[in-house]
Amino acid sequence: MFSSFMIAADKSGSGKTTLTTGIIRYLTRNGHIVAPFKCGPDYIDTRHLERASGRKAYNLDSVMLSREIVQNVYARGCAGADCAVIEGVMGVLDGVSHTDFAGSSADIAAIADLPCVLVLDCSGSSYTAAATIRGIAELGRMRIAGVVLNNIASDRHAFLVRSAVETHTDCKVLGTLPKNSENLLGSRHLGIKTAMEVEESYLEACADFASANVNVDELLTLCRTEKPVYAPQTAVKTDKTAYVAYDKAFQFYYNSNIEFLASAGYEVKFFSPLAGEGIDGADFVYIGGGYPELYAEELSESPTAKIIKDYAEAGGKLYAECGGLMFLSRGIHTDGGFFPMAGVFGCETRMCSRRQALGYVRAELVKDCIMGNAGQANVGHEFHYSAMEGYSGEYAYKLTRITDGKTSGDGLIYKNSFAAYTHLHFLCDKPLIKNMI
């Protein structure tokens, strides 16, 4: 039998990632083959789910992708697994629309036909938890198979909340999480630490925490579902080579993007700018997001910076997002000083104390370039704390924020190189990256 469920919550910071990571690791070490997923555009949580399961984790995003593509990505990830665990995003109804909750965890649950396990913050309340659950279930039109009560102060508190939930809802209380539970995972400005920064002991601690506080076996029984059918694609002959930067400085990628390159006829090779690795024989280079500011000194001394610069000058096809843009700038300003980078583009970047952008945007080309013709557009996502300085040229993109229509510019072009803060999903409708590759 196949089980699948989404772990969602009433708000951000509820402990979804720790609990999801723990349940996945617990299931994996007990012999299950778990298909892990993350709702929305987040890169960091996805890598933790990969570490916990030992399998690729995929993003399910109904803002950047069509309903059909989300279903296909879900089916692709479930192939070969006996259960699927999907981590929600923000609060369960938080998306890009207040009317139909598009882009929310509830939206993804409806698209993939998933039951939901709701993690509910019960601090400062008791019986009201029942009303919260009923409101979420009604507004989100979703099946809540069970709830996990978080921030429980005492056995008495647990009894009060459980009694109200089981009296006034159809939901089973699957577990309680104690108030002020140990913070198992540290954070930084973009969120929790990356999967490359944590030890196996953290994953085991998450598993122990989950199994001690949640009835995982009952959860699996409550969430029996039909396994989605996946039809593997016909293998494509790989007659080109794509190099993808991947190390502690650059690790923010959608797995679907990497697989898209393979489906387009590229043999994908990974290289580490931190290790000074090269890109011999590259037909395309992809430098994704990450934390280049944390490794600015090492990157500035890496021979890869000059290798990339020479590749771009020779007209090589180069695509970069966010942290990749920072690496391709003239340099990065940090609290520790200024560190020169590859210098492909005529700008510098500076780390700021406040977030500079967050949210979905429509990225429309305003000029013909290697990414396509003026007027072509994709929906992407921005999230960065750095800002560009000293750039006097035109931007390739007109960005329009999905939620409020605010506009801005993004996208730099030099020969056959393109870089932007905006992250794109390559499986979107008419992907711009297809024009480049």
Positions marked catalytic: 322
Residue in this structure with the two tokens 């989605």, named with its chain if needed: 228
- Token representation of residue 330: 């003239």
| Spatial contact of 16 and 150, defined as CB atoms under 8 Å apart | no
Residue in this structure with the two tokens 């994704």, named with its chain if needed: 288
| Distance between CA atoms of residues 219 and 222, nearest Å | 5
Q: How many CB atoms lie within 10 A of CB 44?
A: 20
Output the furthest CA–CA distance in the chain (Å, rounded).
70
How many helices (H) does the chain have, and how many strands (E)? 13, 26
| Spatial contact of 322 and 252, defined as CB atoms under 8 Å apart | yes
- Token representation of residue 362: 């429509």
| Spatial contact of 165 and 147, defined as CB atoms under 8 Å apart | yes
- Torsion over CA: 118, 121, 126, 132 (sign): negative
In sequence order, which residues have a C-beta less than 8 Å from that of residue 131 and are 6 or more positions away? 168
Residue 111, helix vs strand vs coil: helix
Specify the amino acid at residue 46. Answer: T
| Spatial contact of 59 and 41, defined as CB atoms under 8 Å apart | yes
DSSP 120: E
DSSP 196: G
- Token representation of residue 331: 């340099």
Buried b (16+ CB within 10 A) or exposed e, 69-91: bbbbbbbbbbeebbbbbbbbbbb
Specify the amino acid at residue 275. Answer: A
- Token representation of residue 30: 């007990």
List the end-to-end C-alpha distance of the chain, in Å, as a whole number.
41
| Spatial contact of 374 and 435, defined as CB atoms under 8 Å apart | no
In sequence order, which residues have a C-beta less than 8 Å from that of residue 428 and are 6 or more positions away? 64, 65, 66, 69, 378, 379
